[in-house]
Amino acid sequence: MFPTPRSDVAPNSFAYEVTPLVKPTGFREYDARWLLGPDLNLLGVEALGLGLGTYVHELGQRRIVVGHDFRSYSLSVKQALTLGLVTAGCEVLDIGLCLSPTAYFAQFDLGAPCVAMVTASHNENGWTGVKMGASPPVTFGPVEMGRLKEIVLGGAFEERSGGSLTLVDGVCERFIADAAARCRLSRPLKVVCACGNGTAGAFAPEALRRMGAEVIEMDCDLDFTFPRYNPNPEDMEMLHAMAAAVRRHGADLALGFDGDGDRCGVVDDTGEEIFADKIGLMLARDLAPLHPGAKFVVDVKSTGLYATDPVLAAHGASTLYWKTGHSYIKRKTAEIGALAGFEKSGHFFFGPPLGRGYDCGLTAAASILAMLDRNPGKRLSDLKAALPVAFTSLTMSPHCGDEVKYGVVERVVADYQTMAAAGGRILGRRIAEVVTVNGVRVALEDGSWVLVRASSNKPELVVVVESTRSADDMRALFHDEVKPRLAARPEVGGYNQEI
């Protein structure tokens, strides 16, 4: 009988070597992430695998794809997870070192309903985690994660005979071929491919070359120490490096990929960063005439321009704002049959005929290059300049502990609801709407807005602001409204970056 996991086992002790350590905070809204060592040991990973296998059988499945990203410890984590899955009687198909979208692709390619991808995505070294699903292209959400947490922490495991492990070759090659086939450039484009020394460096340059691009590789050698910066194309350090490379090489654009390749960041031909919600709007404008009446899904951190865009309206397109998180947007995109879903963090979800519905940085790259190919004579900066004007901040993340962050957000939501009910104003503007589908998005009468929500995968809050007036007004919305409101709460710490 496998022992029940505990949360109070100290590293460097006898108990740590014989007892599964699993901190409850690692079970997030739509995946699992822990600091390996203090929050999770390898026996804890085995317990997670046994719990996942138990749950997979509850769902009437047993065939599951596993893969891992390029970190010094990810292979060991995957092996421990696999041991638990096999003990639970699962048929495990190990596709080796890969990207998260490669594992999602493998569900279709190998006819396996379930997936468990060992990755900490863009989190700093020291973190590990697992992205899971049992019904492609959808991945686990709060209900599934809640049941998994219940099984693992309660020790409600069911060991079964008949488990197996098969090492499967060739999936990564078929994945690259599938992604590359989604774009065939008819004009030359020079593309900086930035990978931050993460896993995407082994796959993205080749895929872009097969699309017909001239590729300038930047930090594509795999190095799990991440010597330059963390592979996160939402962070300004990586974006600034991409921008410098575009200017240095005279490139048409830069495409940056995160640590597990399911996100894509973009810098245009002038060296200006374009956040993913604006790229999504450009893509939606390009696709709407080709797919009249198309539906799009965007997360609450995204620009408000989708709701007012005249091009989308002219072609009968509609946009739904939904909860932030790859699992939420992916699920809602599939649920309503949307052509595409866009998340400001750089997750892009393309439904048929453009993709299979899962988030994939290379499919996003193919769609961006195809958009440029359909607009001969125009550069990416031209397409950006054609958008209506809005000044949107980068995503800012003040520290807030996992145990308290949701309570903090609940109180901030209550503050804004009270303000709105009393006819309150923010920087002289009436509050037009308070949207609480995911934290709180406070829309003002001129279309500007502020957002505060809890991060789903780190001990942080998430803050975004957008102004329809000016960049200075955008900064004022943050510095004069949101920042002091959060600073009044002692649980909220310093920011990763500010505007």
Write out pLDDT tens, residues 56-101.
999 999 999 999 999 999 999 999 999 999 999 999 999 999 999 9
Contacts of 351 (CB under 8 A, 6+ apart): 333, 334, 337, 338, 339, 340, 341, 357
The angle formed by the CA atoms of residues 222, 225 and 226, to the nearest 5 degrees, is 70
Question: Is pLDDT at 457 greater than 80 in this prediction?
Answer: no
Our measurement of the distance from residue 420's CA atom to the centroid of its chain's CA atoms, rounded to an integer in Å, reads 32
Q: What is the DSSP string of 226-287?
A: -SSS-S-TTSHHHHHHHHHHHHHHT-SEEEEE-TTSSBEEEE-TTS-EE-HHHHHHHHHHHH
Q: How many angstroms separate the CA atoms of 224 and 72, rounded? A: 6
Q: Nearest 5°: phi and psi at 192?
A: -80, 125
> How confident is the model at residue 183, as a pLDDT?
97
Q: Helices (H), strands (E): how many in the chain?
A: 16, 21
Query: Of 227, 225, 271, nearest to 245 (Cα)?
Result: 271
Q: Measured between alpha carbons, how far is residue 230 from residues 216, 243, 365, 498 in Å? A: 20, 16, 20, 18
Q: How many angstroms separate the CA atoms of 311 and 306, rounded? A: 10
Measured N-to-C along each axis, helices 276-287 and 361-373 cross at an angle, to the nearest 10 degrees, of 50
Q: What percent of the chain has pLDDT over 90?
A: 91
Question: Token match 């109070």: residue?
Answer: 8
pLDDT digits (tens, 9 = 90+) for 50-66: 999 999 999 999 999 99
Percentages helix, strand, coil for the chain (3-state, rounded to 5) are 35, 25, 40
Q: How many angstroms separate the CA atoms of 345 and 358, rounded? A: 15
Give me the amino acid identity at 408: V
Return the higher-pLDDT residue of 149 and 326. 149
The overall average pLDDT reported for the chain is 96
Catalytic entry in 74, 121, 327, 455: 121
Give me the amino acid identity at 374: R
Q: Is 121 a catalytic residue?
A: yes
Q: Which domains does the chain have, with CATH numbers?
A: 14-169 (3.40.120.10), 175-385 (3.40.120.10), 391-487 (3.30.310.50)
Query: Of 104, 158, 133, 154, nearest to 4 (Cα)?
Result: 154
> How confident is the model at residue 497, as a pLDDT?
82
> What 3-state DSSP class applies to 190?
strand
Q: How many angstroms separate the CA atoms of 211 and 222, rounded? A: 22
Contacts of 244 (CB under 8 A, 6+ apart): 271
Q: How many angstroms separate the CA atoms of 264 and 242, rounded? A: 12
Question: Is the pTM for the entire model greater than 0.85?
Answer: yes
